[in-house]
Amino acid sequence: MKTITKLNFAYIILIINGITLLNCEDFIEIDVPDSQLTGETVFNDISSAEAAVSNIYSELSNNTLVCGNNKGVSILLGSYSDELQTYNTGIPEFVFFQNNLTSFNASVTSIWNGSYNLIYATNAVFERLKSSTAIPINDKERILGEALFTRAFIHFYLNNIFGEIPYITTTNYTINSKVNKSTTPEIYSLLIADLEEAKLLLASKTPSPLKLRPSYNAVKSLLARIHLYHENWEDAKNEANAVINSESLVWIESLESVFSKNSSGTIWQLMRNQEGLPTYEAQSFIFTLAPPPNRALSNVLMDAFEPEDLRKEVWTGHVKSEENIWYYPYKYKQIVTDGESSEYSIMFRIEELYLIRAEAQAHLGELEGARNDINKVRNRASLSNTSAETKHELLNATIKERRIEFFSELGHRFFDLKRTGRFNTTLTPTKQGWDATDILWPLPDSELLLNPNLLPQNAGY
């Protein structure tokens, strides 16, 4: 696969030297023998190795996949499902809002290339660090664990967006250029293997200040999510239990404090490439003039809030005209540059683990436990206890709470509709142009031309 290898020689040199990563369009396309991809000098001291992994997190935060601007899944999947309405026909997510993607779409290709560039970078870090003898074992294990987690995290998103994809575990050009797609069960096994190894490596490591690096709890959180998605209810419950009971995490009672960078309920968050900057989420979502210049929360989402739900008051803002009112996500509130950032972009927070455990318990017949976890989330929002009683009612109540709790965050709504089989019944009535095959994005046409082993194209494209 050309973009996993040739495009990345320049990239790995950049991360080795601790230089801020470039967009994938800037990478130089050259043939490089695999023997040149050694990068041994970066791992002769801990500071260089730290710079390499820090640049991977910077790229995730600022330029691809989970960044909070219109290059990331919060906006693209929010527009693609039923969370966001796009008003500007000239911006990239408008075709996502219309559900009119093609295999030539630049945003789709950017997500694919940017993600595989970072997978390549994590593999390079892993390979070079594993052979290094210069770095203390504690630091070595921590960074190896972070690399395995990050590789799994990115593959998880790619699999849920594109379906069958290559799972890349090497920097070897010969292997990567002819790679085949893995089935979802195969990807699931590889994800679990990477995360179980990461869990061992990170088990005794102290979380980074402000949770800016993936930790043992981040690994277990992703494991809980993956087990939930693959209907391994007992494993999902157990991993969620372990995170909820962690001494390093504390439930936040104030909705105002959940997205503070100092929140004790945050498990992993990413910062911009400069302290003092607001999050991309705040810059992308907040608007002050009517009508919305780019995007706003959809009417169907706003109608899903219960009347007394404080999340509507605290986590949304609005702009009025004489005849209309438009809402925007207001979870992240810092909008201007300051001396110090008050918020970073949260990837995992403790509320997800409560709702994972609730859903798993409902499937296991542990209905009282499921109710308690749902009520934990509802009561903080000043809502009364759920009226759900049966397993079916509790499962519906959990999905409803997830919709409100995680709106505009990292594609949760898209993935929940997909994994629970609710896509067509939910989106067909409300989304013009929705087709059953829209459940997957197209594989980039440029990749299929470079590597025919990636065929066939996803259905509908």
Model confidence at 276, pLDDT cuts 50, 70, 90, reads: very high
Give domain limits for the chain: 1-205+437-461, 207-420
Q: Are 195 and 148 in contact (CB under 8 A)?
A: yes
Q: Environment class of residue 238 by beta-carbon count within 10 Å: exposed (0-12), middle (13-18) or buried (19+)? A: middle
Q: Do domains 1-205+437-461 and 207-420 have the same CATH topology?
A: yes
Biggest CA-to-CA distance, the chain: 68
Question: DSSP string spanning 356-386?
Answer: HHHHHHHHTT-HHHHHHHHHHHHHHTTPPPP
* pLDDT surpassing 70 at residue 406: yes
Would you tell me how many other CB atoms lie within 10 Å of the CB of residue 103?
A: 17
pLDDT tens figures, 299-325: 999 999 999 999 999 999 999 999 999
* Count of residues making up the chain: 461
Backbone angles phi, psi at 204, to 5 degrees: -105, 10
Distance CA 172, CA 152 (A): 18
Q: Are 53 and 147 in contact (CB under 8 A)?
A: yes
pLDDT at position 42, please?
A: 56
Q: Going by CATH, does the domain composed of 207-420 fall within 3.40.50.2000?
A: no
Distance CA 363, CA 358 (A): 9
Mean pLDDT of the chain: 91
Closest CA to 420 of 240, 234, 228, 238: 228
Distance CA 13, CA 318 (A): 46
Distance CA 219, CA 449 (A): 35
Query: Which position has the higher pLDDT, 402 or 48?
Result: 402
pLDDT tens figures, 86-105: 999 999 999 999 999 999 99
Could you tell me if residue 442 is left (phi over 0), alpha (psi between -120 and 50 degrees) or otherwise beta? beta
DSSP-derived letter for residue 331 is S
* pLDDT surpassing 50 at residue 204: yes
Out of 1.25.40.390, 1.10.1200.10, 3.90.1200.10, 3.30.1310.10, the CATH code matching 1-205+437-461 is: 1.25.40.390
What value does the mean pLDDT take over residues 75-81? 98
Percent of the chain with pLDDT strictly greater than 90: 87
pLDDT at position 19, please?
A: 34
- Copy the structure tokens of residue 431: 């989304």
Q: Are 355 and 370 in contact (CB under 8 A)?
A: no
Q: Are 82 and 291 in contact (CB under 8 A)?
A: no
pLDDT at position 40, please?
A: 43
Distance of CA 33 to the CA centre of its chain: 33
CA angle 244, 420, 198 (to 5 degrees): 40
Confidence (pTM): 0.92
pLDDT tens figures, 39-62: 444 588 899 899 999 999 999 999
